[in-house]
Amino acid sequence: MSDPDPVRSNLKITLAHHELSERLRAVTGQDSGANFHSWAVWGSKKAGVTIRREDLDEALVNASWVAGAVGLMVGEGAGVLGVAPMLGAEGGALAGVLIACGVLGAACGAAAGRALARWSRARAADLILEGNRLVLRDIGGQTARFCERFYRGPIGPTALAELLEGMEPGPAESGGQDLLREVFTQYARAAGAKTDAERHVAMYHANCLAILNEHLKLQPYIAASMPMIVRRCVTQRMLCFHIGAKRLAVSEDVVPLGDTAFPETLQTLGDADLEALLERYDTSKGTLVDSRAQDWTQLEDRMGYIVNLFRCFHLDPSVHLAPYDAGQAAVVRQGGVPEGPL
């Protein structure tokens, strides 16, 4: 979105993803399950938390804890190697020197950590917003073309080929849209499917390809948004998100919604290309065990969590919920920022 205000821009992007999700469902079928934009709504809402700096207090606490612990170790090391020998401290005096050096190191580390957190959250907000905009520009325009072309009629091979020709050739890493061609081929397959199983597998395949395409392009933004020293801490402590009212965390294994890990129609995939994709990225190997992420800046780590989340929640109605109530959505469309939780 071109709105120069970061908060308004994120709100508009989130709402746009929901509207694109509903339009795409009209083409692929109301019972086809989640599509990429259904998921992007919740990713964009999570991005909004950082863009609005609502996670700053938590970041300050976490940064103080991590940097303080590092400072404590550095301070005690400095006491052992430098201060204590210089003072000739021994016995109880040595212990006192080490404690003092550790406390000083911890205090300095915590202060430095808070300063780093303030700087990194501001930088992360800018990078996440740009990534937010990139995703909508890249796939949103193609989804709009797809829906406009096929909203009222069947998707014939010639018409689909013409649509795919309008996508930029080349790999995602260099700005190309080769993966998006595969994405919309799968969405077309879902639209023409004869069974629920065929439709759901095609949708899930498309979603996995779409998120891979976007995360390949987002990799520089995600890596730059987290200082190396706190990447694992941020992944473990701050990357929580919601799907409707459900709260999830990328640092925890995806939890089944029922008695089985995945919906019945996605338990057996029968798609060699999709299975090859999962063989590369699904660390749980179809079990949800160890589906959690350790370092969100690593593409493989992210994908390992996401492919399981997408498969497990594919038919969950919560994924399709509107991000804002009707009154809030009206305010967003008018260029305002609604009151209340966003």
Quote the pLDDT of residue 129: 82
Range of the domain at 223: 6-56+128-331
21 falls within a domain? yes
39 contacts 207 by C-beta, under 8 angstroms: yes
- CA-atom Rg of the chain in angstroms: 24
User: Which residue blocks in the chain are alpha helix, DSSP H?
Assistant: 6-28, 36-51, 56-78, 84-87, 91-135, 141-150, 157-165, 178-191, 196-224, 231-237, 272-281, 299-312, 326-333
Residue 119 lies in a domain: no
74 inside domain = no
As to burial, measured by CB atoms within 10 angstroms (0-12 exposed, 13-18 middle, 19+ buried), residue 13 is: buried
Predicted local distance difference test score (pLDDT) of residue 216: 95
Q: What integer pLDDT is reported at residue 306 of this predicted model?
A: 97
Are residues 1 and 121 in contact, defined by beta-carbon separation less than 8 angstroms? no
Q: Give residue 205's Cα distance to chain centre.
A: 18
Comparing C-alpha atoms, which of 241, 325, 334 is closest to residue 8? 334
- In-domain check, residue 33: yes
212 in Cβ contact with 179 (< 8 Å): yes
List C-alpha distances in Å: 277 to 31, 303, 335: 24, 10, 40
According to the model, what pLDDT value does residue 319 have?
Answer: 97
Q: Could you report the per-residue pLDDT of 152-198, keeping only the tens digit for each? A: 878 999 999 999 999 999 999 999 999 999 999 999 999 999 999 99
Mind listing the pLDDT tens digit of every residue in the chain (342 residues)? Answer: 568 899 999 999 999 999 999 999 999 999 999 999 999 999 999 988 888 888 655 544 444 444 444 433 433 343 344 433 444 444 444 344 334 434 444 445 444 444 455 545 567 778 888 888 899 999 999 999 999 999 987 899 999 999 999 999 999 999 999 999 999 999 999 999 999 999 999 999 999 999 999 999 999 988 887 777 778 887 887 789 999 999 999 999 999 999 999 999 999 999 999 999 999 999 899 999 999 999 999 999 999 999 999 999 999 999 999 999 999 999 999 999 998 888
8 A C-beta contact, residue 243 and residue 257: no
Residue 253 placed within a domain = yes
The pLDDT score that the predictor gives to residue 4 is 85
Residue 87 lies in a domain: no
Instruction: Specify the DSSP element, H or E, that contains 249.
Output: strand 246-249
Residue 55 has what pLDDT? 62
**Number of domains comprising the chain:** 1
Q: pTM for this structure?
A: 0.82
**Contacts within 8 Å (CB) and 24+ apart, 296-304:** 296/222, 296/226, 296/231, 296/234, 296/235, 296/239, 296/250, 297/222, 297/223, 297/226, 297/231, 299/215, 299/216, 299/219, 302/215, 302/222, 302/250, 303/211, 303/212, 303/215
Asked if residue 102 is part of any domain, the answer here is: no
Q: Is residue 237 a part of any domain in this protein?
A: yes
One-letter amino acid at 89 equals A
